[in-house]
Amino acid sequence: MSDTIAVPSSASAVANRGAITACVILAVIMQALDTTIANVALPYIQGSVSASADQINWVLTSYIVAAAIMTPPSGFLAARFGRKNVLLTAIVGFVVASVLCGLAQSLPQIVVFRLLQGLFGASLVPLSQGILLDIYAVEERGKAMALFGVSVMVGPVLGPVIGGWLTDNISWRWVFYINVPIGMLAFFGIVAFVSETTRQASARLDWFGFGTLSLAIAALQLFLDRGEQLDWFSSAEIQIEALICASAFYLFLVHTFTANNSFVNPRLFLDRNFSVSMFFIFVIGVTYLASLALMTPYLQTLMDYPVMTAGIVMGPRGVGTMVCMFIVGRMIGKVDTRLLLVLGFSLTAWAMYDMTGWTPDVSQWTIVSVGFVQGAGLGFLFVPLTTIAFATLPAHMRGEGTGLYNLSRNIGSSVGIAVVTALITENVQSNHASIAAYVTPFNHAFDNPVIVQHLDPLKAAGRAALDGMITTQATIIAYMDDFKLLMIMSIVSIPLVMLLRKPASSAAPAEHNAVME
């Protein structure tokens, strides 16, 4: 696959920079919202299409698999057909697929339409990021990446709030219809302001590399999504998916490092900053979105918060991210980027440490304040990391680089959510057994008549009440263990920041001139 892509002319790009930024940010927000906005509507969708609890998960899985597969080739598509054309096609396809999802009357229909949503929406984020990197000078990219980061990372936070309100007050179908006005604004704005890049008719897609990577990603996603339901490697299906994933990824790696013009240019990984940043964005995907996946059921199940209340108390997390991203955007180039990353991981680790001591009695103020700190940590991570990842990467490799960078974040999110969800299920069972071992008629606690009145282990009602209490305690401990794991991941990442090289400041003007020529 060709790794070159021409950059649009500087005159029109700089003149319309504000309008271009607004348009591509709208496209990113539309795609980012759909990663979580449908989650809260799943029970309603399940009833409408008469699906089982196991089947309805395919509404989420189909979207994630399709988006993960189509993210890496976004650079090739932009080079072959022009970045503006691909972006416009992606927006139209995403909006049409969204409308079809809202009109769906059966499970197969909505799964197929969600698949189309993922296929078209996959290129929105990397292509938008590439446009922003091209139209801003190196010293101004911190601000640009702050805006981009807000749209990418706040979307998953706002998704449940907006989705919950639309589902409660209108219909679950509107979690898909909401993409129509956003998509129309983005489409017409990009038509008016974004310049087309030079097409490269000679660009060719490495079908073997693309096929093996796609197969590995699809098998990995199925392995992660269905592993807990099927008891992991005790299931033949899971064994087959693991074998396919490992085999396909092995073939992909061998092909990448031995073939000419492979699907992924191995020279990308010679840039140390890009390679290390790929690892860090994977960790961020794990810690941030996995913690979001934990918080929603924690608030709704253990604390009995309604959907809207849960969304509101989680909202300050997004506020913390937005505020700090804009602050950090102004600090890029003035403060060592690695120090900002250390601060970001430290804030994230502190927030997770505080959450290891939570119980269902935790106050709303604590949830809000700790969530704000965690969001602030993300603000100190996303902008500097995105800036340093592409600071030393040649301009002609950015299209391919942004695709891989966002793929790493998506896979990190999928792995993180699957791991913490599986650990919750397994640890609840383990903790339940450990606690229940102490609940016997011979325990002196049952000498207290007040306790025996409600929790008599010799009566069916008492045993049921005891089981519910033990399950709640076991679940609290399981959540604590998950938060502790995410805290440890954040702490371990801190010393690895020193692997990043500080970009030479003198290179900035030269690179900017190269981009704009």
In a domain, residue 8? The reply is no
Res 3: pLDDT: 42
In this prediction, residue 514 carries a pLDDT of 34
The DSSP annotation for 44-55 comes to HHHHHTT--HHH
Do residues 410 and 68 make contact, with C-beta atoms less than 8 angstroms apart? yes
List the structure tokens of 394: 């040649």
394 lies in the same domain as 362: yes
The string of DSSP letters for 228-293 reads TTTTGGGSHHHHHHHHHHHHHHHHHHHHHHHSTT-SS-GGGGGSHHHHHHHHHHHHHIIIIIHHHH
* Both structure tokens of 360: 């269902």
41 and 177 co-located in one domain: yes
Q: Are residues 104 and 23 in the same domain?
A: yes
Residue 371 falls inside a structural domain: yes
Same structural domain for residues 371 and 456? yes
CATH code assigned at 153: 1.20.1250.20
Residues 394 and 280 in one domain: yes
Domain that holds residue 181: 15-201
- Asked if residue 510 is part of any domain, the answer here is no
Best CA proximity match to 254, nearest among 241, 266, 244, 243: 266
Looking at 223, 246, 262, the residue that finishes a domain is 262
Report if residue 420 sits inside a domain. Answer: yes
CB contact at 8 A, 110 and 172 = no
One domain for residues 233 and 349: no
Are 436 and 310 members of one domain? Answer: yes
Say how far apart CA 81 and CA 186 lie, in whole Å. Answer: 19
Task: Examine the domain organization and report whether 181 and 308 are in the same domain.
Answer: no
Domain assignment present for residue 506? The answer is: no
User: How many other CB atoms are there within 10 angstroms of residue 8's CB atom?
Assistant: 20
Same-domain pairing of 271 and 227: no
* Same-domain pairing of 314 and 188: no
Looking at the fold, whether 221 and 238 belong to one and the same domain comes out as yes
Ranges of residues in the chain whose predicted pLDDT is under 70: 1-15, 39-40, 53-54, 57, 153-154, 156-157, 307, 446-447, 450, 452-453, 456-458, 503-517
The C-alpha atoms of residue 150 and residue 29 are separated, in whole angstroms, by 9
CA dist list (Å): 459 to 201, 434, 462 = 78, 21, 5
Largest distance between two CA atoms of the chain = 84
Q: 461: exposed, middle or buried (C-beta count within 10 Å: 0-12, 13-18, 19+)?
A: exposed
Beta bridge partners of 332: 335
By the 8 A CB rule, do 121 and 359 touch?
A: no
Domain assignment of residue 514, yes or no: no
pTM assigned to the model? 0.79
H/E segment holding residue 14? helix 10-15
Within-domain flag for 2:
no
How many separate domains does the chain show? 3
Of 13, 270, 274, give the one whose Cα is nearest residue 140.
13
Inter-helix orientation angle 398-436/124-135, to 10°:
130
Expressed in percent and rounded to 5, the helix, strand and coil fractions of the chain are 80, 0, 20
Among residues 247, 262, 277, the one where a domain terminates is 262
**What DSSP designation does 136 have?**
S
pLDDT tens for 312-363 read 888 788 788 888 888 888 888 788 889 999 999 999 999 999 999 999 999 9
pLDDT, position 53: 59
Phi, psi of 292 (to 5 degrees): -65, -40
Same domain, 337 and 238: no
pLDDT at res. 511: 40
CB 180 within 8 A of CB 58: no
Structural domain includes residue 480: yes
The residue out of 162, 179, 201 marking a domain boundary is 201
